[in-house]
Amino acid sequence: MKNLLNTLLLLSVFALTGTTLSAQNGTTTLREDGTLPKVFLIGQHEAQFEELTASYDKDLLAVCDADMNTAFQKWMSMMEEMEAYSKQIEYNLDGVKAWFHFFWAPDGSIEHIAYYLRPNSKNLDLDEMNAFLVSFMNNYKFPLTTETKYHHYTGATFPVFYQNAVGQGK
């Protein structure tokens, strides 16, 4: 019963954000104004995705002043926050392996997430995954403000096996 309520809560997020899905396959459609939905699969809406990518001229590493450690720590912190959020709302990410492309506004809010599950990822309902990602992005702000919007493309695996050793004497 609790999972049903969580699923309904997540799916209701789509109604509030204007994202539509076709039944059971995670396919998203463009919004009425022709813009991309907040969350979509890599490979959908290719022309709009190329335009989106071109409009984010800075990547995470560049806005971290080419400091790879800072960029990596910020990214891993977000993955840990995503995992913690999934546990809070009882959405199981364990076994998910995906490629993610995040697009942030200058204030650190997530504007879009494009993703694609890797072949060795656990099977999951893509509509629920899309709803989870929309809910996460509506409840999270990346801890980096800049003067320009920025993006990051990389893979992620859950559970997150990262322990930040900075400040722990390691």
Identify the band that residue 35 occupies on the pLDDT scale cut at 50, 70 and 90.
confident
CA distance 109 to 129: 19
Give the Cα-Cα-Cα angle 53, 113, 110 (nearest 5 degrees). Answer: 95
Residue indicated by tokens 């709009």: 48
Share of the chain above pLDDT 70, in %: 75
Give the residue with greater pLDDT, 53 vs 24: 53
pLDDT of residue 162: 66
Q: What is the pLDDT of residues 65-78, one digit of tens each?
A: 999 999 999 999 99
With 0-12 CB in 10 A as exposed, 13-18 as middle and 19+ as buried, what is 19?
buried
Q: What is the pLDDT of residues 40-70, one digit of tens each?
A: 999 988 889 999 999 998 999 999 999 999 9
**Contact (CB, 8 A) for 127 and 24:** yes
- Which spans in the chain are helix H? 2-17, 46-55, 60-63, 68-88, 126-139
DSSP codes joined into one string, 109-139: BEEEEEEEE-TTSPP--HHHHHHHHHHHHHH
Identify the band that residue 161 occupies on the pLDDT scale cut at 50, 70 and 90.
confident
**Is the model's pLDDT at 146 over the cut of 50?**
yes
**Contact (CB, 8 A) for 138 and 46:** no
Share the mean pLDDT of the chain. 83
pLDDT of residue 63: 97
Give the Cα-Cα-Cα angle 99, 100, 105 (nearest 5 degrees). Answer: 165
